[in-house]
């Protein structure tokens, strides 16, 4: 049994797979096993995995049916894991040599933390750096943002397996004992990470490490880029569940996080609504009551306050004041910019014409 299991679903990943596997073999921490979940590829992926398996017996190939979802594939990996810590890895991303060692050291230094993400670079298909990841840092930062998306970059994350098993955490499944209306809610793909991390953060601490530990590859094949509309609708449904769970767990007035969600650095057009001041007032009272005051929460509420009036001038002025006071994160800038420029060819906004009907369907 290895101390770390690396969970890597892959479908048609031949283009980048060899480079990814090489970064795993180059890890300074070597007590790992790779669970390569081969999701019915039709390219050379199976042959590449078999070749590397012959050279390195720590690589295990787990065939998985094509018709099953990404959430099911990830849960298949969690079920197969037999380790202290499970590390996520995508087949097109690259891990720095010290990544696993740093994550293991972090878990050992903080035995109450259920999951760690990290800082990292965004690279293009040729491996050139094009940006840096924008993740919330600080002890209270993840909890402060857990209802709104953007908790961590999913392929950077590692889990303490004992915590996941204790709370019954699963990808795409509702595992909170909170609101019975959501007991059967499922997010099969696209926002399964937001749904998992949001629920987990309501129960256990999570953190992002400031170290730059991986490179996230952005290219035309990324699922979230190819299906933005479906991603945002899945995030909207997850948001409704998380809001109800938060209120039930902490005994607050019902909160509605949906108007303030910027999963994927985008906002949703909620049927033409623009005035969310009442929703923000409830949030601004409920979150400090549940989580306690912190600098991270104050910053998050400052940004969400910019989104309570969706008219262009109030939002632009509110964001300018927020940025002057707290600085500007790229996810915040992109979310506001996309909304202000909506309607232009390069800035589409997904619209939910009847949010209540659609989210309760």
DSSP symbols for 71-111: HHHHHHHHHH--SSEEEE--TT-EE-TTHHHHHHHHHHH-T
Question: What one-character DSSP code corresponds to residue 213?
Answer: E
Give the relative orientation of helices 192-203 and 70-80 as an angle to the nearest 10 degrees.
Answer: 50
Backbone angles phi, psi at 180, to 5 degrees: -60, -20
User: For the whole model, what pTM was predicted?
Assistant: 0.91
Residue with tokens 């050291």: 105
- How many CB atoms within 10 Å of residue 344? 9
How many CA atoms, within 13 angstroms, populate the side-chain half-sphere of residue 87? 29
Backbone angles phi, psi at 37, to 5 degrees: -90, 100
How many CA atoms, within 13 angstroms, populate the side-chain half-sphere of residue 77? 30
- List the beta bridge partners of residue 88: 7
Asked if 83 and 161 touch (Cβ cutoff 8 Å), the reply is: yes
Q: Where are the alpha helices (DSSP H) in 185-311?
A: 192-203, 223-226, 228-250, 277-291, 295-305
Going along the chain from its start, the domains and CATH numbers come out as 4-228 (3.90.550.10), 229-360 (no CATH)
The pLDDT tens digits along the chain (361 residues) read 899 999 999 999 999 999 999 999 999 999 999 999 999 999 999 999 999 999 999 999 999 987 788 999 999 999 999 999 999 999 999 999 999 999 999 999 999 999 999 999 999 999 999 999 888 888 788 999 999 987 899 999 999 999 999 999 999 999 998 888 888 888 887 788 999 999 999 999 999 999 999 999 987 655 555 577 778 888 888 888 999 999 999 999 999 999 999 888 888 888 888 999 999 999 999 999 999 999 999 999 999 999 999 999 999 999 999 999 999 898 899 999 999 998 776 666 666 654 444 455 4
């Amino acid at each position: 049994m290895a101390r770390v299991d690396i969970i890597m679903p892959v479908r048609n990943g031949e283009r980048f797979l060899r480079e990814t596997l090489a970064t795993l073999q180059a890890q300074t921490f070597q007590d790992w096993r790779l669970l390569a979940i081969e999701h019915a590829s039709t390219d050379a992926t199976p042959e590449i995995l078999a070749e590397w398996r012959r050279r390195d017996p720590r690589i295990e190939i787990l065939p998985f049916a094509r018709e099953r979802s990404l959430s099911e594939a990830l849960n298949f990996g969690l079920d197969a894991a037999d380790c202290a810590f499970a590390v996520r890895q995508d087949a097109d991303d690259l891990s720095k040599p010290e990544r696993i060692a740093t994550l293991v050291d972090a878990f050992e230094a903080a035995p109450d933390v259920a999951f760690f993400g990290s800082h990292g670079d965004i690279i293009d298909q040729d491996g050139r750096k094009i940006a840096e990841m924008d993740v919330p840092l600080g002890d209270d930062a993840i909890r402060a943002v857990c209802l709104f998306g953007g908790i961590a970059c999913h392929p950077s994350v590692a889990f303490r397996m004992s915590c996941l098993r204790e709370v019954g955490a699963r990808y795409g499944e509702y595992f909170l004992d909170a609101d019975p209306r959501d007991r059967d809610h499922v997010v099969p793909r696209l926002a399964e990470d937001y749904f998992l991390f949001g629920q987990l953060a309501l129960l256990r601490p999570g953190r992002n490490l400031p170290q730059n530990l991986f490179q996230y590859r952005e290219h035309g094949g990324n699922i979230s880029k190819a299906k933005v509309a479906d991603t945002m609708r899945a995030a909207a449904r997850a948001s409704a569940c998380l809001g109800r769970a938060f209120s039930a767990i902490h005994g607050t007035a019902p909160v509605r996080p949906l108007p303030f969600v910027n999963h994927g650095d985008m906002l949703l057009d909620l049927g033409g609504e623009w005035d969310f001041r009442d929703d923000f007032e409830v949030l601004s009272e409920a979150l400090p009551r549940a989580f306690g005051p912190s600098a991270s929460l104050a910053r998050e509420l400052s940004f969400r306050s910019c989104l309570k009036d969706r008219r262009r001038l109030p939002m632009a002025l509110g964001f300018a004041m927020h940025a002057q006071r707290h600085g500007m994160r790229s996810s915040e800038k992109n979310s506001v910019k996309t909304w202000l420029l909506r309607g232009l060819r390069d800035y589409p906004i997904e619209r939910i014409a009847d949010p209540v009907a659609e989210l309760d369907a």
